[in-house]
């Protein structure tokens, strides 16, 4: 679980100064760095689910599926989807992970 939190914190760091989709979509270095961290999050979620089947994270299977898409279908990844994920789903996941680590 701590790997998930580390990856989220790195994504937040990478996004400093990038406050619009336009800036994000034209910054290939930032996109690459963020996609790498999303892969790490997906793999860490997958490992967590295998080692702790009784514990669940909301959207865990969607996270793992997106990781698989980033890794195996990288040429079809839409920047819009990544942007929506980091804008709408990263903070709730961070909160959920912090709560699980605190429990």
Which tens digit of pLDDT belongs to each residue from 8-21?
999 999 999 999 99
Residue 1 is predicted with a pLDDT of: 84
**What is the percentage of the chain residues whose pLDDT exceeds 90?**
82
Kindly report the pTM of this predicted structure: 0.94
Active site residue ranges: 67, 72
List, as own/partner pairs, every contact residues 25-29 make where C-beta atoms lie below 8 angstroms and the sequence separation is at least 24, other chains included: 25/79, 25/83
Two structure tokens written together for 42:
């997906």
DSSP codes joined into one string, 8-62: HHHHHHHTTT--SHHHHHT-HHHHHHHHHHHHHHHHHHHHHHHH-TT---TTHHH
Mean pLDDT over the full length of the chain = 94
More confident residue, 52 or 98: 98
Residue 24 is predicted with a pLDDT of: 97
Average pLDDT over every residue of 41-70: 90
């Amino acid at each position: 679980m701590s790997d998930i939190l580390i990856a989220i914190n790195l994504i937040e760091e990478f996004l400093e100064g990038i406050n619009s989709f336009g800036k994000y979509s034209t910054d290939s270095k930032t996109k690459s760095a963020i996609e790498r961290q999303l892969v790490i999050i997906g793999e860490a979620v997958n490992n967590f689910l295998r080692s702790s089947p009784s514990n669940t994270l909301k959207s865990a299977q969607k996270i793992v599926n997106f990781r698989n898409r980033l890794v195996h279908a990288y040429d079809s990844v839409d920047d819009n989807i990544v942007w929506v994920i980091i804008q709408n789903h990263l903070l709730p996941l961070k909160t959920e992970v912090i709560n699980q680590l605190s429990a």
